[in-house]
Amino acid sequence: MQGASELQESHRRVQWVYGSTSDKELEERYDQWAADYDQDLAADFEWNAPQNAAAVFARHVDKSAKILDAGAGTGLAAECLTQEGYTDMVAMDLSIGMLEQAKGKDLYHAFHQMALGGPLDFPTAEFDAIISVGVFTQGHAPAESFDELIRITKPGGTIVYSLRVDTYESGGFKEYQSNLELSGKWELAEVTEQFQPLPKGEPEVWHQIWAFRVI
């Protein structure tokens, strides 16, 4: 069990990463955090968004689906998807250090260093489904990321992601998601109740899991 000083150090690392002011800085800080990431979030902070997202994902996506884990990190979401019976997964993250940690878990068959928010180097309609956990939050990927995620998802495919509740309002996600619905790009399949994804480390933070079906 972690003591108070170890928990304080974990919290310091989390705040340091989330305080990044550019994609380059975020990438560098994730590279440095990679070795401690699983301990800090999953063990110390009891990070549960991957489990919640995987449960929603399993309700909407066939087990044979080709899946992109966008913002894969060390593979925590893929671990949960593997437990649900999914096997065809590709990892994408802006941090090489995080991807290196994921490679040791034997979860993915391909790895790509890319950042959400700009063009993605994947063909159109490449994936049956996309999962993205812990990416749409403070100081991370913008709402505009959805345009490319929709492009690379097959019509009828599903995009499942976690979204910090305050970021939904303040980060422009509410309006952007609605506009994508109104323009016929996707339709809402499911949204969960609000939950605490970091009950031990940051109990004041609330997330929801969203699932949209691409049209």
What are the sequence ranges of the domains in the chain?
A: 4-44, 49-214
The topology (CATH level 3) of 49-214 is: Rossmann fold (3.40.50)
Q: Give the predicted TM-score (pTM) of the model.
A: 0.88
Place of tokens 């709402």: 143
Q: How far apart are CA 173 and CA 136, in angstroms?
A: 9
CA dihedral over 41, 71, 113, 107, signed as positive or negative: positive
pLDDT of 132-164, one tens digit each? 999 998 777 999 999 999 999 999 999 999 999
- 4: pLDDT strictly greater than 60: no
Residue type, 155: P
Judge residue 57's burial from the number of C-beta atoms within 10 Å of its C-beta, 0-12 exposed, 13-18 middle, 19 or more buried: buried
